[in-house]
Structure 1
């Protein structure tokens, strides 16, 4: 979970280069990664010779102690992002002492001398920040947050405390607790999910012993256990020094004032010893290595192949990026043509670069269908490579891919924190914050010859590492010639973890300063929330249109939302809506699937079709100058689907593969089981949108056509557009659609939910390293007068990330979990309150008891401070509410769905300001009492069921998740 389980390299990797997203560990359990925004225009696809008119403006200076500082001014929103990047990742560790860089990513949030215990998280909540977050990769560690612009000085004060006034606060109990948190992170990200150990096996065999990339960023549990307080303090004092750190401030601020504040808060921190850049350490494999592993959680065999390549920003990274996309992505890709379409061995293929500072690698992953032998997959890969060797890459495909990568780069810069990260990345990896122009130029300069050259140099007939991860007991499916991989499996033993009291205050001599740092700085000039100007209109066929014109970037984001979605499915044939959406992406009456995909990609656009529980939607992103052409393609997809029988076969195979994969994945099991318990067997809301193996097998093309004719109509549709397009231009482009798509009446079912009785329900997943918890009940819809007061009430309970009681007690106090949170969510007719977490297996009962106690005590112990913190956050956070195009689109969709005014955030601010302790207590007593809830535990029955029964919190019912997945039990 993000301080996060997803890889943070999306922020740290050259955004023009696809990254695998397998690595790096983020801290937060509640924050999603920020996605960056640009101020640039872009070139037309195919105009390779034109240099892109793009730059991220910045100012750069260095303090006397070596701190490198970068400023970027962006006044589009009243916010500022502050990021601190230390040039130290797992590559700077030593074998036997791994995981320290990542451990510090965690420790630096816990306490510092002047903020006190949990001070940064508490401050983040009060000031309306995005949540203090962090990430660790092989090469760097990041700390970042976006806040209202009037909180800039507070953030600089807090970030300086990390460097100069932190290390004394780390004690043995604090270290012991955080070790448990990191272990929980590893269990959740690696040990308790299918194929979780793949990267460990790849890296251990791709790199020689002792190479800094041969171990994982998160380190080993043994090394973490053995780490002493002296070890971690020595590591910090060497690497966390100003001359090894880059500070970036991006957003709406006065650079003269900001420089004075940076000098004030960071200037007196002493420099450390000079730190040399690590030398490049590229590797060459002398021979191919094939390894297999029997995976407890896998239901399908998976082959991963890896080849050594080059470090980030090397000349060959750019043609390698094009090569990997061309080989694997889309209908024209050789790997797709052979493995998916011709031989139907898999539902999809992925290939991408994992490029770091010292070395790089290319990885190819194919998950075969159940029972499929990986020898057949390997033969298919070789056949696809042979196709590429024979055909090469056409100029059309080259330009199509480069256009997509260029647009993806621009779209990735959608926030000030994203632009700030990009500046820091260029500074650290390329020694040039302004490298962005050269980055794009090198991408656009890639030729057909370059792509063929890097294939010959790094892939063709070159040694590789291949891992076969197969279901337990099915090693016969592994690639021939494979030997058993060495994987260290953790044993979860009752009572094995050390006890600690992380709440105890450390005793130390305070680090001196030239001024009193214990006093939190005041706010600057007030930051006012800027609500976008919204225009509204209506098409001739009745579709209401909501728009926001914004020329900050030359792009347009559009959604067409058709109410209904999965609600139009029948329980005895679930999955029709989802398959209909898949087929509508795969060709039109006059375009083959390949021709449609190519037409969209050549315009640097994307059009996706998805069926959700309550809606069927089309989502479009495009360069503004191509909007008319892209909208015409959308219209063609909507009005003239191809209904390709071959594509239906492939789509059904893909969905069936997903269903099988989810049958052993604890989080997926928890999700589908909780939905059934919450809604009952007679409500479509209690079923997966994927369907079941049986229902998908029975679905025919006539079912899809019937759904299309029954469910898709302008009478239940609404349109939303954000970007560099005027109202009159959008309405002109949409007029033809209105003419050709007449409205017809549509009835949307309103299924009645019948939840299971409150109590504890248990699903057995043998040998689980964690227990997955889902706790909750049905609640009010989003249009209820109680809805936003409930959101307010939930903030301190579990909606406020690290400021919440659930996180503070289960993670920070006990070390039981990597993350836990609660949420209030709702649609037009129904809502729910839910708590979600994964906890260490041997504290399952203790975690359930503690959550129960927190819920029981919440209303009686709610304080004035809790009230003020919630009010402050929920009002001040609105300064960040509309920063990105996607956020603006969300505003429009809320308006169209619920009938809310454009400035509904003002109404919410008024509700927040009017909340009182009695109002909070009333909401909590009505919707958040433990005895009214369903408690679902997915874990190891042999060790955890009896302790749960001993709690005497109600009936404990053992249920079969596979039976729950089927209709009419």
Structure 2
């Protein structure tokens, strides 16, 4: 994966569940009363070499998503080379014969693309990007070059460097995180040795290091052949012209050997396996129980997903009632069915409160199952779960990339991209009998794998009769990594072609970017409403921002707004928590309420047909809090648990400590908006009522809506809220404006045994309303704001292999924010990484040139074609207008700023805002091995921010 975002997308894509009756096709008549007809039209054809091609036309925005999906993942690896499919995914981005070194990333920046990205799962690897429609031929050319003209460019130095990048990704996502090894232990014990799912997609550090250049070539020649690949193009394009381009660039790529599909490989357990591990980063005990289940699209997989939702989600869920409410053993319960191509698993995960014995949790689990066996699931509960699944289905198709992903997914794993049109109907076909049947067949009385992950020294909390799990922890050793020279160019004889592929295709007709029409309404109560009507999918998304949050809290009661937001979702005056949740879910709606540093926000999504009912519930939540004392105490416990977890997360530590250093200890924005262990104990319901009565007012509230809804409908729906919401005079305190340090200092927070060092470098900067804010953002593009087009990424990741990802940004709002550089770097190059960042900052302005500016301008202007594609993007546009005072056509005004920018202006901005000698340098890592060396940065002895609080396991 090229970025951490892809991890989330992989999880969402591979865990989507599609519902239908067991072994019975679902007819339209069965579901006609429950859903209107929904279709995603597509065209499919196959080239002579076996490449499957799928087109979907969507003219709602001038963009096109291109995805290349290979039917190969970690399940096609061999033992001893685990993680290889994922390593190969990284390699395929680096170079090809006609794009040249880094050519795809450079082109992505120039054409205003979303950034070339990819992901690997157990069973497939995909490569994807959304671009303005005028760049479609360029993308088809590039994808063909990767598929057919790649392998000659891979050399030993290239492989050595990318091994370091992937190993850094493993450290970041697995080794340096609490509970990061849980899935590894489950895989080794759920799937027998030799099963393709016995190992993890990311692989092991040892296997990654052992990968050879010949392995790369063999893998490519076997799996990356047209007859094992699907090309999907979705968006605003001419299908006749696109078909010509596909034939031109892909036809002469040779077909590979026929690939025999893998057979389904379900597993059974002959005994229950219990394992434990003392986790260096854990602060709380966690129990995970996993049962063998069914593969993706198996008829029973759909009912299993309903089962997991009913058992674990919401107040009525048996697991919530027993584990959270009655026994108060944990703050939440996670349960899901995870189906892959060959097999599946049903997983239950519970992270207990501090010092909770996991045997008590296991006993509570059995009580919850017993409760379910006695009560079953009602038709009403089944219907509300289906409604939520329907909404999620449409949300997943709200972008052209989402549609393209799903068409490819269905083609490869369901055998027909047309399954996308049947899917929402199948969701509605699960019955209560199905749910009970799959519980009895796969869960009740069946063997499972149980893992107990506990903090160091707390093995008294593990499940009885557990055995120690075998996990290899990496040691921090200076100079342990393989050296490489990334500057060595590959020499090879180019693969012959019938035409000159080295010529990048021209742009097509420049797309016309249409700025969405924004409407506004100022209501008599002071409510300000902003909307965009869009009927691409039958959904409405909304966000209500009530100004305040942390800004209106007292230092000795920090955490009040967060508690208030959470408590207001726990029922209303006339509805219990359970009743409120049931009404929301029955509408297929999502409503969340949360506090930030500057707001209390209510966000949500609903089917447009249920918008009015959803907004009525939002009104009730705002105007009629329940003030439930029992729920309040449960929330306090949950937040205390969250604070404990943050102490275990190097990333969270870095975020919290950096805020303190930026704002200073007496500034309210230096505080964690969750509160502290001390303030949480002291806050009462009366404190929440006081905040509510003083600060929750329409006069400081802005409502944003985007979707299949008109202004008149919105105005009518808000009339009661406008009429009944009492107006209050909200007073905001004056805030001190923090200033940048006169001289840089280095601060260190010790996390013994950390496999990576989290770095946060920066200083207090400016507000988003400052005249220099957007120009400075332009200046930052080539430094760290442009992804793979940025110098920080090119030098620290691509040049040195120090990190998986690094970026920089200005983060102001109406209040001055910070400039920050953020990354997780390999522990044993903490100083080297920090020194290189300092060097890049020192030279950035001096070395900035016309080519840098040309790339920046091209990317920022052309990317505007993608600026408003999703409902979420439209909401962000409305927030910029409402909160920052931007004009409705601010995109056009920004284009003018970009076009008029000069190299001299960039140099001036860099000199003003990128002084490495007036910054805060924060490192969160292993002090024993890394702290002393940081003195070489030249900013004195690093200041240790904490004392060691725990020993490191040998």
What range is the shorter-chain TM-score in?
over 0.9
Are 2:209 and 1:225 aligned?
yes
> Secondary structure, in 3 states, of the residue corresponding to 2:557?
coil
Tell me if structure 1 keeps the 8 A contact 2:17–2:297: no
Aligned to 2:897: 911
Task: Please give the alpha-carbon distance, in whole angstroms, between the structure 2 residues aligned to 1:218 and 1:697.
Answer: 41
Name the counterpart of 1:305: 289
Partner of 2:586: 602
**Which residue of 2 is the match for residue 933 of structure 1?**
919
- Please give the alpha-carbon distance, in whole angstroms, between the structure 2 residues aligned to 1:859 and 1:744: 49
Contact 1:99 1:223 in 2 (8 A): yes
Comparing 303-312 with 950-959, greater Cα deviation is found at 950-959
Indicate if the aligned counterparts of 1:567 and 1:614 stay in contact, CA closer than 8 A.
yes
CA contact (8 A) 1:562 1:615 kept: yes
1:403 aligns with 2:387: yes
Given the two structures, how large is their TM-score scaled by the length of structure 2? Answer: 0.97
Q: Which residue of 2 aligns with 1:359?
A: 343
2:126 aligned with 1:135: no
Name the CA shift for 1:79/1:142 in 2 (closer, same or farther; >3 Å). Answer: same
For the pair 1:272 / 2:273, whether they are aligned, the reply is no
CA contact (8 A) 1:130 1:145 kept: yes
3-state SS of the aligned residue for 1:376?
helix
Corresponding residue of 1:958: 944
Question: What 5-or-longer segments of structure 2 have no aligned partner?
Answer: 20-27, 950-954
Give me the whole-angstrom Cα distance separating, in 2, the residues matched to 1:622 and 1:163.
41
For the aligned residue pairs, the C-alpha RMSD in angstroms reads: 1.5
CA distance in 2, matches of 1:633, 1:961: 48
Query: Which runs of structure 2 are paired with 1:162-561 in the superposition (5 Å)?
Result: 162-561=146-545
SS at match of 1:108: helix
Per the alignment, in what secondary structure is the counterpart of residue 938 of structure 1? strand
Cα pair 1:682 1:753 within 8 Å, conserved: no
Query: Could you report, residue by residue, the CA deviation over 1:406-439 in whole angstroms, capped at 9, with x for unpaired residues?
Result: 1111111111010000000000000010012332
Whole-angstrom distance in 1 between the partners of 2:758 and 2:219: 34
Partner of 2:803 in structure 1?
A: 817
Inter-partner Cα distance in structure 2 for 1:198 and 1:317: 23
| Counterpart in the other structure of 2:4 | 4
Cα offsets for 1:275-294 (capped at 9, x unmatched): 11111001011100000000
1:4-51, Cα deviation, whole Å (9 max, x unpaired)? 262432453363459xxxxxxxxxxxxxxxxxxxxxxxx99x978646
SS of aligned partner of 1:297 = coil
| Post-superposition CA distance 1:898-929 (Å, at most 9, x none) | 22111100010000001111111111111111
Aligned-pair distance for 1:502?
1.5
> Residues 941-968 of structure 1, C-alpha deviation per residue, up to 9 Å, x if partnerless?
11001111133244421112899xxxxx
Query: Partners of 2:513 and 2:136 in 1: how far apart?
Result: 16
Residue 859 of structure 1 corresponds to 845
Rounded to whole Å, the distance in 1 between the matches of 2:36 and 2:214 is 51
Distance 2:78 2:155 in 1: 22
Residue 776 (structure 1) aligns with: 762
- 2: CA distance between counterparts of 1:233 and 1:347? 49
Q: Summarize the alignment of residues 16-95 of structure 1 with structure 2, pairs less than 5 Å apart.
A: 16=17, 50=34, 52-95=36-79
Give me the whole-angstrom Cα distance separating, in 2, the residues matched to 1:356 and 1:262: 30
Preserved contact between residue 16 and residue 409 of structure 1 (Cα < 8 Å):
no
1:253 partner SS: coil
Distance verdict in 2 for CA 1:600–1:657, change over 3 Å: same
In structure 1, the partner of 2:611 is 627
1:11–1:421 contact (8 Å) kept in structure 2: no
Structure 1: which 4+ aligned runs deviate by more than 3 Å?
A: 14-18, 46-52, 753-757
Q: Deviations over 1:492-528 (max 9, x none)?
A: 2111111101121011111111111111110000012
Contact 1:779/1:833 (8 A) holds in 2:
yes
Cross-structure match for 1:868 = 854
* Offset from partner CA, 1:870-894 (integer Å, 9 cap, x none): 0011111010000011111111111
Q: 1:763 aligns with which of 749, 752, 755?
A: 749
Deviation at 1:573, TM superposition (A): 1.3
Secondary structure at the aligned position of 1:781 is classed as coil
Q: Say whether the 8 Å CA contact 1:319–1:443 is kept in structure 2.
A: no
Q: Deviations over 1:815-834 (max 9, x none)?
A: 00011011112111212211
Does the aligned pair in 2 maintain the 1:113–1:165 contact within 8 Å?
yes
Give the conservation status (yes or no) of the 8 Å contact 1:565–1:615: yes
Query: Quick check: 1:680–1:756 contact (8 Å CA) kept in 2?
Result: no
Contact conserved, 1:547 with 1:720, CA < 8 A, in 2? yes
Aligned mates of 2:777, 2:377 — CA distance in 1: 53
Alpha-carbon distance in 2 for matches of 1:755, 1:382: 56
Structure 1 pair 797–227 and aligned structure 2 pair: CA distance change class (3 A): same
* Cα distance change of structure 1 residues 11 and 518 upon mapping to structure 2, 3 Å threshold: farther
User: Does the 8 Å contact 2:526/2:700 carry over to 1?
Assistant: no
Q: Does 1:678 align with 2:652?
A: no
> Is residue 801 of structure 1 aligned with residue 787 of structure 2?
yes
Which residue of the other structure, out of 833, 849, 852, is the alignment partner of 2:819?
A: 833
Residue 709 of structure 1 and its aligned partner are, at CA, apart by 1.0
Aligned match for 1:121, one of 102, 105, 112? 105
Q: Residue 750 of structure 1: CA displacement?
A: 3.3
Give how far 1:457 is off: 0.5
Q: Does 1:881 align with 2:881?
A: no
Length-normalised TM-score, structure 1: 0.95
Give the match for residue 829 of structure 2.
843
Tell me what 2:25 maps to.
none
> Residues 666-815 of structure 1: matches in 2 within 5 Å?
666-754=650-738, 757=741, 758-815=744-801
Distance 2:284 2:264 in 1: 37
User: C-alpha distance in 2, partners of 1:900/1:743?
Assistant: 26
What's the counterpart of residue 948 of structure 1?
934
- Partners of 1:542 and 1:728 lie apart in 2 by 18
The alignment of Structure 1 onto Structure 2 pairs a total of residues equal to 938
Counterpart for residue 602 of structure 2: 618
* Distance in 2 between residues matched to 1:618 and 1:99, nearest whole Å: 41
Q: How far off its partner does 1:670 sit? A: 0.4
How far apart are the structure 1 equivalents of 2:814 and 2:740? Answer: 22
Instruction: Please state whether the residue corresponding to 2:531 is helix, strand or coil.
Output: strand
Task: Tell me how far apart the structure 1 counterparts of residues 389 and 734 of structure 2 sit (CA, whole Å).
Answer: 43
What CA deviation, in whole Å up to 9, does each residue of 1:94-147 have, x standing for no partner?
Answer: 111111110111001111111111100000000000000000000000000000
